[in-house]
Structure 1
Amino acid sequence: MMLRPRLHDLYIGRTVLLTVLATWAVLLGLDVVLALSGEFEELGKGSYSIGHAIAWVAYTVPRRAYTLFPMAAVIGSLMGLGQLAATSELTALRALGLSRRRLALSVAIALSLLTALMVVSGETVGPWGQARADLLRNSARANTDLTMARYSGLWAREGDTFLNAQSGEERLSATGGSELVLNQVRLYRLGSDGQLAEVTYAETARHDGQGWSLHQVRRDLLGERSASREVIDQQAWDSQLDPTALAAGLARPRNLSAAELRSSIEYRKRNGLDARDYEDNYWSRWFYPINVLALCLAAVPFAFGSLRSGGMGKRLFLGILFALGFWLLQMFFGRMAGALRFDYRIAYALPPIVMLAISGFIFRRKVG
């Protein structure tokens, strides 16, 4: 009965939601303008035009909204509560017997609606839009037949040969440079009559800056009435495919959905590959709603207190500083988890626990 929404809960929730949406729109608009201006220097590369740049930015809007929402939520919450404090409405609500805890709960319930929407967007529209944006830009700049299907990996064409790679990554080579490694590669070559003439499977295809090489190769040659197979441990591959364009076409871990990240983690562990980047992004998705709500609740105490103690400007500055401290702390624990190889779940659980503990201490000391 105590948790049933009341009129004051709806009023606080509406005020906070409006200020969060306004803040979100401003931050997203600035980010879109900066992204579009940054694309101008890419114009003229291949067939890349202003239309491609606008389309690329438009496709990335859902992913940008997902990334900016936590900052918009904490700034918007403080602005909304500060607006109520400036008009003495918070004081009036306190005089009616509402505790600071109940007011903070009203904020949390309102923000949970937008947070749930962002979680759904981050698993559906965001990865889809980012994948479409990357393919659009890379294909236009490289003037190559390149595509990335959601469930079948990377596809590229060179003459009568079609390449399919399930995944790939750029690594540091033994010589200190970088190399592109494609995993589970299949090459389909068509004959002069348009029929499938050869299918080659390679566990990995590597480009070390000098040329391509195939490793653990199995090649099937298909004749009109015959078929033969040969197995080769390693061989050079005479191909002019641009490794830079292929690397750009690969989906980055941060642009994958949680289900795709989970599949990638399992594949890498089965094959003895490094899965830390994928684990980092996977667990960040699960802790995203927890972090957003913890971040906002941790900053809420700065909206309370007497206006004579420094005004809204001071509380807003301290709240934003508190929020930045949260993300720096989270980044620190995430990097430590990758370096020391301890569980990412612990790394992502510690920052909200620490911040909420500090905020709780501040919350209890606030008066007014």
Structure 2
Amino acid sequence: MRLAPRIHDLYVGRNVLATVLVVWLVLLGLDATLALSGEAKNIGTGSYTFGHAVAWTAYTVPRRAYTLFPMAAVIGALMGLGQLAATSELTALRAVGLSRRRIALSVAIALSLLTAMMVVNGETLAPWAQEKADLLKGSAKYETDMAVARYSGLWAREGNTFLNAQTGEEQVDEGGRSRLLLHDVRLYRLDADGRLASLTHAATARHDANGWTLEQVRHDRFGERSATRQAVASERWDSQLDAAALASGLVKPRSLSATELRSNIEYRKRNGLDARDYEDTYWSRWFYPLNVLALCLAAVPFAFGSLRSGGMGKRLFLGMLFALGFLLLQMFFGRMAGALKFDYRIAYALPPIVMLAVSGWLFRRRSS
């Protein structure tokens, strides 16, 4: 089989790309509209306005495009090939000697162009825009002096005290109540002249129903010509900083590139912290292209045979069924990897292997 593209490869690829783009835009528009309507409940909270909701939705579009692309690819591929089958063009291509594998290869190459674009988007624009969206929403809703620096963690201000936390997460205790846990926390307190009066370092800062608690604390106080140090195991911290505002400002794994996710995983493992959320996101990025390819190849055989007489509704239903089934299978294995603590690479490799096996079986069945 010659791998050099021919005119029929370009024709099939163009039709598939056109339908994928249309489906993708429809799904993206619907998802963005639902997200914007969901933000209505936040309008009026703090200084959050309709303009903030629109801006937040616009910032999240690159991430939504990245997430929705696999589903759009399989539905669009089925609809594009289904249109060719309904007009007997697939039959004509088969009659001139074009094999099913060649048609599937044409589809895979066409979709690989969009997949490559989404991989670049997932590592550059989508994380950056999502971080901006989270910061915009948190700052407007809670009206706090807060900033997020990608390499220096979370910054917040309360009066003359500045807080810096390298990382953190929200947790649920045994009673079902939520709490915020910040790691590697530094509190910088300035005097009236703007000079550093004290520096407090805590391994963790925990906020729960009882307020703030600092653990493994070290105080450094600076005088005109002296400095003193005091260490305590745990102490209360009288602060009015809003834990919800701080939680909204934490950099989420989805807002990081693969390189930054890897750095965070190493940092958390080095310090004995839970890195499962970061590992989950990290390996999902690596398996993203394989997932798209496996999902589309598993659906392509349905364009032959029964779909010749099937309508658009049937193709759409099968595409959604395949896409949703695959996503549920992938989600199941991902959650199992987190719960049972086995390698995420295995969890993310199993679904595409299953789909590729289904694709091979269907191709053999259609060919027999």
TM-score by length of 1: 0.96
Classify 1:308/1:81 alpha carbon distance in 2 versus 1 (closer, same or farther; 3 Å). Answer: closer
2:82–2:308: 8 Å Cα contact kept in structure 1?
no
Cα deviation, residue 175, structure 1? 4.8
Q: 1:344 to 1:228 in 2, by over 3 A?
A: same
> Match for residue 74 of structure 2?
74
Aligned partners of 1:21, 1:311: CA distance in 2, in Å?
20
Q: In the alignment, is residue 195 of structure 1 matched against residue 187 of structure 2? A: no
The equivalent residue for 2:30 is: 30
Match of residue 132 from structure 2: 132
Contact between 1:303 and 1:312, CA under 8 Å: does it hold in 2? no
Read off the aligned partner of 1:330 and give its amino acid letter. Q
Q: Provide the residue aligned with 1:234 in structure 2.
A: 234
**Maintained 8 Å contact 1:302/1:319:** no
- 1:227-271 deviations in Å (ceiling 9; x for gaps): 222222111111000001111111222332212221121111112
Letter of the aligned partner of 1:242 in structure 2?
D
State the match for 2:172 in structure 1.
Answer: 172
Mapped contact 1:329–1:351 kept (Cα < 8 A): yes
Q: Would you say the 8 A contact 2:86–2:310 is kept in 1?
A: no
| Map 1:142-161 → 2, pairs under 5 A | 142-161=142-161
The structure whose RCO (Cα within 8 Å, separation 6+) is larger is 2
Cα deviations across residues 202-223 of structure 1 (Å, max 9, x unaligned)?
1111112221111111221122
Matched ranges for 1:267-306 at <5 A = 267-305=267-305
Amino acid at match of 1:8: H
Report how far residue 113 of structure 1 moved.
Answer: 0.7
Q: Does 1:352 align with 2:352?
A: yes
| Structure 2: gaps of 5 or more residues | none
Q: Secondary structure at the match of 1:246?
A: helix
Cα distance in 1 for residues equivalent to 2:229 and 2:114: 56
Is the CA contact (8 Å cut-off) linking 1:303 and 1:316 kept in structure 2? Answer: no
Deviations along 1:176-199, one digit per CA (max 9) or x if unpaired, are 422211001111111011111111
The letter of the residue matching 1:317 is F
Contact 2:70/2:323 (CA < 8 Å) preserved in 1? no
Partner deviation per Cα, 1:63-119 (whole Å, 9 max, x = no partner): 111111111111111111111112211111111111000100000001111101101
Amino acid at match of 1:58: A
Q: Which moved more, 1:214-223 or 1:113-122?
A: 214-223
Is the aligned partner of 1:319 residue 2:322? no
Report how many residues are paired.
368
Deviation at 1:311, TM superposition (A): 4.4
Partner of 1:98: 98
- Contact 1:23 / 1:75 at 8 angstroms: preserved in 2? yes
Q: Which residue of 2 aligns with 1:163?
A: 163
Mapping of 1:114-133 within 5 angstroms?
A: 114-133=114-133
Q: How many angstroms apart in 2 are the aligned matches of 1:195 and 1:311?
A: 74
Residues 1:295 and 1:308: Cα distance change in structure 2 (over 3 Å): closer
Question: Gaps (5+ residues) in structure 1?
Answer: none
Displacement, 1:224? 2.1
Partner of 2:42: 42
Judge which range, 153-162 or 316-325, deviates more. 316-325
Residue in 2 aligned with 1:209? 209
Q: Which amino acid aligns with 1:131?
A: E
Q: Which amino acid letter does the alignment assign opposite residue 238 of structure 2?
A: D
Task: Give the partner amino acid of 1:334.
Answer: G
Q: Could you tell me whether the CA contact under 8 Å between 1:73 and 1:296 is conserved in 2?
A: yes
Distance 1:169 1:26 in 2: 34
Query: What is the distance in 1 between the residues matched to 2:175 and 2:362?
Result: 53
- For residue 98 of structure 2, what is the amino acid of its counterpart? L
Deviation beyond 6 Å, 4+ runs, structure 1: none
CA distance in 1, matches of 2:182, 2:277: 17
Counterparts of 1:43 and 1:316 in 2: how far apart (Å)? 36
**In the alignment, is the contact (CA less than 8 A) between 2:79 and 2:315 conserved in 1?**
no
Contact 1:127 1:255 survives alignment (8 Å): yes
Per the TM alignment, residue 306 of structure 1 is displaced from its structure 2 partner at its CA by 5.1
What CA distance in whole angstroms lies between the structure 2 residues aligned with 1:109 and 1:180?
46
SS of the aligned residue for 1:274 comes to coil
Compare 108-117 and 81-90 and name the one that shifted more: 81-90
Distance in 1 (CA, whole Å) between partners of 2:173 and 2:342 is 26
1:301–1:316 distance in 2 versus 1, CA, 3 Å: farther
2:186 maps to a residue whose letter is R
**With structure 2 as the length reference, what TM-score do the two structures score?**
0.96
Aligned residue number for residue 15 of structure 1: 15
In 2, distance between residues paired with 1:129 and 1:310? 41
Q: Which residue of 2 aligns with 1:54?
A: 54
Amino acid across the alignment from 2:147: T
Q: CA offsets per residue over residues 277-331 of structure 1, 9 Å max, x none?
A: 2111111110011001110111111111255654454344223312222111111
Question: Counterpart amino acid of 1:349?
Answer: A
More divergent stretch after superposition (315-324 vs 253-262): 315-324
Please state whether the residue corresponding to 2:46 is helix, strand or coil. coil
Q: Is the 8 A contact 1:39 1:53 kept in 2?
A: yes
